[in-house]
């Protein structure tokens, strides 16, 4: 598909009722703005990350709360709503404003349609590659997990889709929850000779040997380009260690420097880290290692339109993060002269499914892999009357449903639900199907739990999770968002040190009593003991509760009282 054909398709689609305002001319101009990205330079990298196995287009609401603390407060990626728009010069009410923020989400989602979808992403990738000879497609991980079909096929649907998409290089995180044996099976068979699966920071427990290749060097238009892989460093902490008992992870900063130096010594003129650290970790890392031209990041699901330029002893490193759910495609072009990067261009392109025709080959593959499961996926569990979403530091309306369902079914006073960042969004009027429920719960450790806990234990848990999120040193940020809490109210001050962030814990308006035991429901425990106990899968518990209720709406969020964040641009009530 050449440039003229591509713009003609978009113009015709616009005339057919797509959400770009106006007629053919305006649709074509919008296409020019979004998807006609002129070629620049001689090194071209395409990047997507954290798609969480979403093969079909989805809605995904960006957070209204994404707080930064200490030196990271008020800086990318910790900007939301109007503050985000001001930072990047994006006009309110535009497609870009909808793609990057939560503002007027329901109305904007109905206007601009769904985002992502591998068939539409494939079309955009082909478009970018057509004008960029030798371009590499980089997958930042969290690809084989997050949907029912990925769970039921042990990731095979996503492996096949990635191969069809043309992925060249990948690094992992949630892939590891399929287990080490399954990961190695895919890498050594499906990916062999086709996809470079890289992780400089995964080693064996016994002798510290590399489990995967640390980097690969590819020639692109006469330029030697090194891509280094950086897996999520806290995989055995954030997820069950029993999936990868013989492997170690970690940031491995010193080893990374050695790998960079080795790649440079072997002739690499451009060195890029494909990272699943999370953006705050990447920003700190970029200031401490030399020789990286860019870090293409993931994990924290931050859609950041412009790279942050970080100075270090070796020069400047660009740090990016490319969002989630197949919603964005990062396009990084380098102009390399005399063995060095002279200049760059970067665009983070929203993938609007209504504006990009589906790639027929990818669409056929998706239809094929979903076919055995369609009847299960399409079962309507309940009618939904509200906006159901997950993403945000403290809670989301879909998480609130899960909390309420857990407390009701388990007859518990309090419920905890993990602060996962993945999970799609349902608009008011969209039914809760089994597929939608699985989009929130599809993990390989889905066990529900009921645990007696004292007030002291509850505080310890909340303090520990809060430190994972709000520790001022990014290298100690090991988790997702804050654990979601049902039944219990509390106050949090993210600026305080660990042990002093959580206060005023109340149940039914009364303070928790020292020494008293409370019944707490939860799910997705990481311990081996919880796996052995084998509680009912969360999707079974929630499916039964939803079938019984038949109709649900977005319930009032049980949110903590947040102290010390007045004026922080990482929170909006709009």
- What pLDDT is stored for residue 233 in this prediction? 98
Please state the rounded mean pLDDT for residues 448-470: 97
Q: Compute the distance between CA of residue 507 and CA of residue 515 in angstroms, rounded to an integer.
A: 15
Peptide bond into 77 cis (omega under 30): yes
* Model confidence at 561: pLDDT above 90: yes
- What pLDDT is stored for residue 478 in this prediction? 82
564 Rama sector, left if φ>0, alpha if ψ -120 to 50, beta otherwise: left
453 three-state secondary structure: strand
What is the pLDDT of the chain when averaged over all its residues? 94
Do 240 and 177 contact (CB within 8 A), yes or no?
A: yes
What is the per-residue pLDDT across 375-391, written as a single tens digit (0 to 9) for each?
999 999 999 999 999 99
- Name the pLDDT band for 13 (thresholds 50, 70, 90): very low
- What pLDDT is stored for residue 18 in this prediction? 39
Do 421 and 391 contact (CB within 8 A), yes or no?
A: yes
- What pLDDT is stored for residue 480 in this prediction? 81
- What pLDDT is stored for residue 573 in this prediction? 76
* Model confidence at 27: pLDDT above 70: no
What is the per-residue pLDDT across 140-166, written as a single tens digit (0 to 9) for each?
999 999 999 999 999 999 999 999 999
Please state the rounded mean pLDDT for residues 268-294: 98
- What pLDDT is stored for residue 455 in this prediction? 97
* Model confidence at 17: pLDDT above 70: no
Q: Which of 256, 245, 238, 173 is nearest to 205 (CA)?
A: 245
Q: How far apart, in Å, are the Cα atoms of 76 and each of 63, 319, 519?
A: 14, 10, 39
Q: 292 vs 574, which has greater pLDDT?
A: 292
Q: What is the chain's Cα-based Rg?
A: 23
* Model confidence at 14: pLDDT above 60: no
Write the DSSP string, 342-375.
Answer: EEEEEEEEE-BGGGSPPPHHHHHHHHHHHGGGHH
Kindly report which listed range (18-32, 192-206, 246-260) carries the lowest average pLDDT score: 18-32
Write the DSSP string, 52-107.
Answer: TT--S-BB-PPPSB----GGGTTSTTS--HHHHHHHHTPPTTSHHHHHH--TTHHH
Which residues have C-beta within 8 Å of that of residue 375, sequence separation ≥ 6? none
Report the share of the chain in percent with pLDDT over 90: 92
Q: What pTM was computed for the model? A: 0.95
Report the share of the chain in percent with pLDDT over 70: 94
What is the per-residue pLDDT across 230-258, written as a single tens digit (0 to 9) for each?
999 999 999 999 999 999 999 999 999 99
92-106 core/surface letters (b: 16 or more CB in 10 A; e: else): eebbbbbbbbbbebe
- What pLDDT is stored for residue 8 in this prediction? 47
- What pLDDT is stored for residue 22 in this prediction? 41
Q: Compute the distance between CA of residue 513 and CA of residue 507 in angstroms, rounded to an integer.
A: 10
Query: N- to C-terminal Cα distance for the chain?
Result: 41
* Model confidence at 1: pLDDT above 50: no
Q: Compute the distance between CA of residue 573 and CA of residue 337 in angstroms, rounded to an integer.
A: 48
- Name the pLDDT band for 574 (thresholds 50, 70, 90): low
Q: How far apart, in Å, are the Cα atoms of 408 and each of 405, 429, 445, 541?
A: 5, 24, 21, 10
Please state the rounded mean pLDDT for residues 428-432: 96
- What pLDDT is stored for residue 554 in this prediction? 84
**What 8-state DSSP symbol labels residue 176?**
G
Q: Six-digit token pair at 385?
A: 């009357």
């Amino acid at each position: 598909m050449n440039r003229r054909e591509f713009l003609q398709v978009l113009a015709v689609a616009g005339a057919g009722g797509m959400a770009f305002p106006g007629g053919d001319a305006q649709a074509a101009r919008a296409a020019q703005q979004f998807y006609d990205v002129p070629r620049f330079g001689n090194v071209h990298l395409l990047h997507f990350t954290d798609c969480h196995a979403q093969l079909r287009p989805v809605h995904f609401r960006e957070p209204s709360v994404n707080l930064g603390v200490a030196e990271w407060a008020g800086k990318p990626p910790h900007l939301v709503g109007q503050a985000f728009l001001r930072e990047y010069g994006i006009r309110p009410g535009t497609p870009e404003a909808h793609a990057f923020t939560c503002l007027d989400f329901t109305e904007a989602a109905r206007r601009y349609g769904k985002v992502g979808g591998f068939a539409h992403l494939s079309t955009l990738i082909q478009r970018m590659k057509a004008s960029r000879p030798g371009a590499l497609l980089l997958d930042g991980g969290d690809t084989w997990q997050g949907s029912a079909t990925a769970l039921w096929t042990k990731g095979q649907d996503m492996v096949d889709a990635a191969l069809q998409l043309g992925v060249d290089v990948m690094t992992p995180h949630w892939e590891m929850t399929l287990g080490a044996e399954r990961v190695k099976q895919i890498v050594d068979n499906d990916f062999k000779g086709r996809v470079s699966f890289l992780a400089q920071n995964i080693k064996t427990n016994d002798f510290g040997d590399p489990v995967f290749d640390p980097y690969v060097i590819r020639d692109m238009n006469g330029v030697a380009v090194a891509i280094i892989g950086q897996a999520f460093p806290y995989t055995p902490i954030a997820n069950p260690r029993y999936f990868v008992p013989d492997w170690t992870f970690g940031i491995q900063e010193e080893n990374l420097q050695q790998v960079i130096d080795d790649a440079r010594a072997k002739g690499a003129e451009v060195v890029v880290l494909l990272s699943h650290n999370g953006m705050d970790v990447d920003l700190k890392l970029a200031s401490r290692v030399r020789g990286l031209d860019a870090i293409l990041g993931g994990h924290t699901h931050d859609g950041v339109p412009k790279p942050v330029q970080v100075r270090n002893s070796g020069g400047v490193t660009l740090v990016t993060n490319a969002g989630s759910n197949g919603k964005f495609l990062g396009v990084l072009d380098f102009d390399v002269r005399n063995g060095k990067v002279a200049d760059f261009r970067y665009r983070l392109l929203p993938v609007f499914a209504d504006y990009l025709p589906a790639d027929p080959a990818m669409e056929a593959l998706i239809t094929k892999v979903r076919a055995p499961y369609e009847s299960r996926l399409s079962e309507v569990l309940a009618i939904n009357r509200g906006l159901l979403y997950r993403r945000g530091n403290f809670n989301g309306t879909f998480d609130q449903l899960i909390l309420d369902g857990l407390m009701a079914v388990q007859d518990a006073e309090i419920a905890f639900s993990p602060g996962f960042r993945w999970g799609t969004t349902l608009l008011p009027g969209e039914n809760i199907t089994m597929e939608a429920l699985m989009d929130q719960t599809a993990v390989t450790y889905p066990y529900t739990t009921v645990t007696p806990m004292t007030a002291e234990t509850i505080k310890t848990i909340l303090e520990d999770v809060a430190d994972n999120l709000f520790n001022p040193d990014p290298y100690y940020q090991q988790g997702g968002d804050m654990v979601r809490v049902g039944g219990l109210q509390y106050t949090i001050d993210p600026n305080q040190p660990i042990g002093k962030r959580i206060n005023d814990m109340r149940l039914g308006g009364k303070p928790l009593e020292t020494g008293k035991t409370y019944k707490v429901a939860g799910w997705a425990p990481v311990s081996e003991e919880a796996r052995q106990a084998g509680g009912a899968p969360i999707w079974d518990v929630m499916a039964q509760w939803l079938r019984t209720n038949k109709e649900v709406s977005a319930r009032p969020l049980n949110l903590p009282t947040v102290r010390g964040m007045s004026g922080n641009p990482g929170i909006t009530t709009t």
